[in-house]
Amino acid sequence: MNCCEKCFSDLYIVTKIVDNGEIGECNYCENEDVFIIPVDALTEYFERLFKHYGSTEPYEYFHPEIHPDPSEFGDSLINLINEDWNIFSFEIEGTGTDENMLFDILNADKMRDPLEYIDPHNLYSRITESFTFTHPLEGWEDIWERFKEELKHANRFFPSTQLTVFNNSFDDVLYNRTTYLAEGLTLYRARMGQQPIDKMMAPPSALAKAGRSNPHGISYLYCSIDEPTCVAEIRPWKGSKITVAQIELNKGLRVVNLLKGRLSPFLFDSPYKVLEVDKLLTYFSQELSTPVDPDKSEIEYLPTQFITELIKSKGFDGIMFKSAMGPQYNIVIFDEKNAEVKEIETLEVNNIIYEYDNE
């Protein structure tokens, strides 16, 4: 039995199928002249996926004396996978074809050993829901907070806080969050007041104030993917005039994408590694996207500046992260020579909307 590239949304699996180089007909979605692969060639990868789940056993996921019906706690494997990951294509997800293919892949090499057979009629649960589950970064919150406090108030350049997990996993985080920005991509940058076109790039190093990503005296080019976000980022007041520049990349850039998104479960042999990297990404994203009091920004930005410097030291051209102020996301380019201003316009802010919660 062959499945094809059109059956999946997960880029890791799609790449495996395309790299296989065989063209034919898919036995599942029935597409023709597509890249195909035998289902047993994917078994080892889907076994990694299966490690994220366990059979819904009593005393591991529920107490039968209190809850005699395990269906309150377990679910079909395909339902759990479709809730947790973006594995199968929209065309087949939830049609039953996805479930048939899933178990064909998982059981392709188990027909000779019934004891290893994975039963599609069984109830399954996430391993994170097990009574005995301990997150691989248990206690990370305290370590991270101590690290930030040391950077801000004790050792700025040579912190002594032990961040073993952080250091060991950082390259994995970067590898799995690499995004390529195409040459010619248009970005937006705003400045207060009416500015000439030659003042719309990064400030000279001598004038560079500390920012969310850059230390004082180091100049980066802060841009946004759209105009409303770049306007919100400079915190204008009603009636203020601002200048917005359209900035175009003059070369392709390799950046780290710190926007929240699902990791592929096929990237690591261990589900604990996936959970570890996912938690690290969450912390990085939160630090970069949390609004900061402007009066305290220079010291509060130290942790994000530290992260950015680590990324830059690995040879990346910039970072992407969710805007703390606007609706979309920002892109920080480490070297402004990789972009140029194409045109500018002057705008007047005529309205500002605030949303707030009662404490």
pLDDT tens across 58-71, in order?
999 989 888 888 88
Report pLDDT for 161.
65
pLDDT, mean of residues 248-274: 85
Report pLDDT for 166.
61
Report pLDDT for 243.
95
Within a 13 Å sphere around the CA of 245, how many CA atoms are in the beta-carbon half?
A: 24
Report pLDDT for 109.
78
Task: Lowest mean pLDDT of 93-107, 118-132, 233-247, 250-264, name the range.
Answer: 250-264
Most confident of 205-209, 242-246, 254-258, 326-330: 242-246
Q: Check residues 232 and 163 and name the one with the higher pLDDT.
A: 232
pLDDT tens across 86-100, in order?
899 999 999 999 999
Query: Is it the case that residue 193 has pLDDT exceeding 70?
Result: yes
115: Cα separation from own chain's centroid: 38
pLDDT tens across 105-118, in order?
999 877 666 778 89
The angle subtended at Cα 72 by Cα 45 and Cα 53, nearest 5°, is: 15
pLDDT tens across 140-176, in order?
777 778 888 888 888 877 777 655 556 666 777 777 7
pLDDT, mean of residues 304-314: 87
Q: Report the C-alpha gap between 309 and 256 in whole angstroms.
A: 12
Residues in the chain: 359
pLDDT band of 255, cuts 50, 70, 90: very high
Report pLDDT for 306.
85
Query: Is it the case that residue 104 has pLDDT exceeding 60?
Result: yes
Report pLDDT for 26.
96
For residues 57-87, one letter each, b for 16 or more C-beta atoms within 10 angstroms of the residue's C-beta and e for the rest, the string is eeebbbeeeeeeebeebbbebbebbbeebbb
Q: Check residues 291 and 306 and name the one with the higher pLDDT.
A: 306
Most confident of 102-111, 231-240, 279-288: 231-240
Q: Where are the beta strands (DSSP E) in the chain?
A: 2-4, 22-24, 34-38, 53-55, 124-126, 178-181, 186-192, 221-224, 241-249, 253-257, 318-322, 329-333, 339-348
Domain boundaries, the chain: 2-129, 140-348
Strand partners for 320: 257, 331
Report pLDDT for 167.
63
DSSP 146-205: HHHHHHHHT-SSS--S--HHHHHHHHHHHHTTEEEEPTT-EEEEEEES---GGGSSPPPG
How high does pLDDT run on average in the chain? 87
- Report whether 202 contacts 319 (CB < 8 A): no
DSSP 33: S
Task: Lowest mean pLDDT of 124-128, 218-222, 289-293, name the range.
Answer: 289-293
